A and B are shown apart, each in its own frame.
Chain A
Amino acid sequence: MSVPASYYLTLSAVLFSIGGIGLLVRRNVLVMFMCVELMLNAANLAFVTFARQMNDVGGQVVVFFVLVVAAAEVVVGLGIIVAIFRRRVGATADDVHVLKG
């Protein structure tokens, strides 16, 4: 008998929270981006757990698509970061705050 699903889900929640807090606290754009990846992985873990628990391959299919989207997102996101910070001296997200009311 394998480890119960609630353990995986708890781990997923911990991973998600760490990613979320990191996203909110850190100011290095690249690290923030990595934190997003952490959160995505937490969600993936939850999906795979449910796929096992409910014996449904759909959860795994969703994870597959999340991986694809994550790859695309990283490509475009990093492209934007390179474009912005090619002209900036630091890597701080707060430097870009023109979009305010």
Chain B
Amino acid sequence: MGHLLLAATVPDSLTFAVAAAITVIGALGVVLSRNPVHSALMLIMTLFGVAVLFVEEDAQFLAAVQVIVYAGAIVVLFLFVIMLLGVDRQEALRSEPMPAQRWLALGLGVLALAEVILLAKGHWPTGAHAVAGRARVAGHSNTYVLGRALFTTYLLPFEITSALLVIAVIGAAVLARRPRGQESELDEPTAGGPAFGGENLGSNPSDRALDGPDGEGGEPVGDVLDEAEGVTVVGRPEQ
């Protein structure tokens, strides 16, 4: 392995090593951070690392999109939601309903990694050939080549993505819409009413202890049903 890496030019090797380290550290940070805000920031780090690798692989346009869309929009959206729901919301780590889950997950992950690394050594069984045109055309930038492919060969899928995005926007608007009459259910705890979603929360008493006073939040089910004409799925108590 070492001699292969040496076969590459020193700047290339260095760039790859640093970007790879950034990427892996960022990914580990996403998984291991306790605070979701930290996770989001670590995700930005990974995304930047991947963007560098894209540049290294002559995919300059994608690198730019990666930074603009992912780091600039998606992660900001993540942070926005984290802030919206409350930074102090935490995982209930004390109780694990599935004790084997963690070890199985680790085992399967390592197994998958081993298999992919085995495959990465070069024994690719597919033997597929290029279909969409060359990636490197003398005298033309990567953006030109990619744009040409997108607006000729892949025009129809490209147009469909526009429909997809519109649908996604509408869907998000519908989901995030607050039904009338449910202005502030978390802010006005109603004493005496049945705890919202009582059954599930009740099965995990530690959750409430962790979450403090908000744990008593919720309002009488009847009120919800009375006030809202079309009560959403969200507002319905679990049976």
Report if A and B associate in a common complex. yes
B23 near A89: Cβ-Cβ < 8 Å: no
A6 to B122, CA, bound (A): 7
**Which residues between 6 and 25 of chain A lie within 8 Å of chain B, taking CB atoms?**
6-22, 24-25
Give the residues in chain B near A75, CB-CB below 8 Å: 77, 168-169, 171-172
B57 near A8: Cβ-Cβ < 8 Å: yes
Give the residues in chain A near B176, CB-CB below 8 Å: 79, 82-83
B57 near A92: Cβ-Cβ < 8 Å: no
Given contacts A26-B91, A48-B62, contact A76 B168 (CB under 8 A): yes
A79 near B175: Cβ-Cβ < 8 Å: yes
B109 near A91: Cβ-Cβ < 8 Å: no
Given contacts A4-B8, A71-B165, contact A90 B74 (CB under 8 A): no
Give the residues in chain B near A82, CB-CB below 8 Å: 81, 84-85, 175-176
Give the residues in chain B near A12, CB-CB below 8 Å: 116, 120
Q: Which of B69, B120, B129, B211 contacts A89 (CB 8 A)?
A: B211
A56 to B92, CA, bound (A): 47
Q: List 21 A-B contacts (CB under 8 A).
A: A2-B8, A3-B16, A13-B117, A14-B27, A21-B109, A28-B90, A37-B43, A56-B134, A56-B135, A58-B130, A59-B135, A60-B62, A60-B135, A64-B146, A65-B161, A81-B85, A82-B175, A86-B186, A88-B197, A91-B36, A97-B200
- The residues of B with any CB-CB pair to A shorter than 8 Å are 4-5, 7-9, 12-13, 16, 20, 23-24, 27-28, 30-31, 33, 36, 39-40, 43, 46-47, 50, 53-54, 56-59, 61-62, 65-66, 69-70, 73-74, 77-78, 81-82, 84-85, 89-93, 97, 101-102, 104-106, 108-110, 112-113, 116-117, 119-122, 128-136, 142, 145-146, 149-150, 153-154, 157, 161, 164-165, 167-169, 171-176, 178, 185-186, 196-197, 200-201, 204, 207-208, 210-211, 214-215, 217-218, 232, 234-235, 238
